[in-house]
């Protein structure tokens, strides 16, 4: 009802001559602007609550897309079911008219593969732009028993003394999958302590209630600066630009498969017109080149995956990441 009322109000203002559609500020974006589109606000749908990382990501992006396009962008949080409500809306209910853009992350892949029960799939949503990434990092307590130990040394302890190292996990997520993957490949065994989110586990680590925690830079930066926690390894393809001294899991364990990171990107419902899709994509990619936006995102400790940032086919390359995650689900028997 709220969104409908906004559309009606926008239409009345235009017809009454009280306002006019803004012209695109960037010539490259303006060149792709379809006829009569948009003539009402565009909704950026976020499937997680206001104030969280995805919400902040969407609102920053909306601000800079408005700057380069002149369009009005509204951010709407459609929450519930750990993201499932919003993902289902985008895949099965949102109109493919270009007025709904989903700002999502790769948690969508798990929902599509594991929880959608065949009612929708990744094919129902088309990626149109990459935004940023966050990689999962393992941490030890700043003054705990594991202080100064490498990941390989920690693995050895977990093999020699199984289930004695307590690690914070978030069940049914990459926090749990990374531990499972390492245990299966190395023979190490950890005592898993479940939490509702990464931040809660990190706080437990700082308080000495677990020995290892997992999370993202924005979640532990303050504690790390205070010496309460210390990073051990990052589950990314390469060392992070802002943490060059932090080795990857793949480096330390001589592997290639330890890549667990949040990939944030934009999607539209399948069947969205090619001209509108190209315009929406151009607005996002142009906004993502703005030095101010890059700086805003970098403050949060995210990084920009070079392969996706320079991709000439974002849909193809993001779906390749999704297939890699599907391979893990197949290997572990989560899907047949």
pLDDT digits (tens, 9 = 90+) for 235-287: 998 898 889 999 999 999 999 889 998 899 999 999 999 999 999 999 999 99
208 in the same domain as 120 = no
pLDDT of residue 53: 81
Determine the Cα–Cα distance for residues 280 and 156; give it in Å rounded to an integer: 50
Q: What is the token pair recorded at 288?
A: 């993502």
Does 60 map to a domain? yes
In the chain, alpha helices (H)? 2-15, 27-31, 53-69, 84-88, 107-110, 151-160, 174-186, 198-206, 217-225, 249-253, 274-287, 291-299, 306-309, 314-331
| Integer Rg of the chain from CA | 22
Q: CA 38, CA 283: separation in Å to the nearest integer?
A: 12
Same domain as 214, residue 66: no
Do 208 and 122 share a domain, yes or no?
no
**CB contact set of 120 (below 8 Å; sequence gap of 6+):** 87, 88, 91, 92, 112
Same domain, 244 and 294: no
| Domain co-membership, 226 together with 120 | no
| Longest CA span, the chain | 76
Which tens digit of pLDDT belongs to each residue from 178-237? 999 999 999 999 999 998 778 889 999 999 999 999 998 888 888 999 999 999 999 998
Residue 15 lies in a domain: no
Look at residue 336 and tell me if it is in a domain: no
Note the pLDDT of residue 82: 81
Count up the domains in the chain and report the number.
Answer: 2
Lowest mean pLDDT among 19-33, 179-193, 275-289, 310-324: 19-33
One domain for residues 167 and 221? yes
- Out of 192, 221, 253, a domain closes at 253
What is this structure's pTM?
A: 0.79
Both tokens assigned to 231: 């990073």
Q: What string of DSSP letters covers 161-196?
A: STT-SEEEE-TTSHHHHHHHHHHHHH----EEEE-S
Please identify, among 223, 253, 283, the residue that sits at the C-terminal boundary of a domain: 253
Same-domain status, 95 and 60: yes
What are the backbone dihedrals phi and psi of residue 168, each rounded to the nearest 5 degrees, phi first?
Answer: -75, 130
Q: What angle do CA 19, 25, 26 make, to 5 degrees?
A: 150
Residues 275, 240 share a domain: no
User: Do 121 and 266 lie in a common domain?
Assistant: yes
Identify the pLDDT of residue 17. Answer: 35
Domain that holds residue 81: 2-8+22-133+261-331
78 contacts: CB under 8 Å, gap ≥ 6: 45, 46, 47, 85, 86, 89
Report pLDDT for 10: 42
Cα distances (angstroms) measured from residue 1 to each of 150, 207, 246: 55, 46, 49
Query: Is the domain of 229 the same as that of 93?
Result: no
CA distance 254 to 69: 46
Under DSSP, the state recorded for 21 is: P
């Amino acid at each position: 009802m709220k969104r409908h009322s906004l559309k009606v109000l926008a239409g009345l203002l235009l017809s009454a001559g009280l306002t006019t559609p803004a012209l695109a500020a960037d010539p490259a974006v303006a060149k792709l602007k379809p006829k009569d589109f948009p003539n009402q606000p565009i909704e950026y749908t976020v499937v997680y609550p206001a104030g969280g990382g995805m919400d902040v990501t969407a609102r920053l992006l909306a601000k800079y897309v408005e700057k380069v396009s002149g369009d009005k962008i509204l951010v709407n949080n459609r929450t519930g079911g750990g993201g499932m409500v919003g993902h289902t809306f985008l895949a099965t209910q949102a109109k493919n008219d270009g007025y709904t853009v989903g700002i999502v992350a790769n948690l969508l892949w798990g929902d599509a593969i594991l929880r959608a029960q065949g009612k929708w799939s990744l094919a129902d949503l088309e990626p149109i732009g990459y935004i940023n990434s966050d990689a999962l990092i393992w941490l030890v307590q700043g003054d705990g028993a594991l202080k100064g130990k490498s990941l390989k040394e920690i693995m050895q302890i977990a093999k020699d003394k199984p289930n004695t190292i307590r690690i914070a996990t978030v069940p049914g997520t990459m926090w749990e999958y990374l531990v499972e993957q390492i245990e299966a490949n190395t023979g190490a065994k950890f005592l898993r302590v479940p939490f509702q989110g990464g931040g809660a586990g990190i706080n437990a680590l700082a308080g000495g209630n677990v020995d290892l925690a997992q999370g993202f830079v924005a979640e532990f930066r303050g504690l790390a600066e205070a010496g309460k926690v210390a990073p051990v390894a990052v589950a990314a393809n390469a060392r992070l630009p802002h943490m060059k001294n932090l080795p990857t899991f793949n480096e330390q364990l001589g592997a290639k498969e330890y890549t667990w990171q949040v990939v944030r990107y934009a999607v539209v419902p399948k069947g969205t017109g090619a001209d509108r899709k190209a315009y929406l994509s151009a607005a996002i990619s142009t906004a993502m080149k703005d030095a101010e936006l890059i700086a805003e995102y970098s403050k949060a400790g995210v990084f920009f995956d070079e392969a996706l940032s320079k991709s000439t086919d974002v849909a193809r390359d993001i779906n390749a990441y999704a297939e890699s995650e599907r391979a893990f689900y197949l290997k572990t028997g989560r899907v047949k």
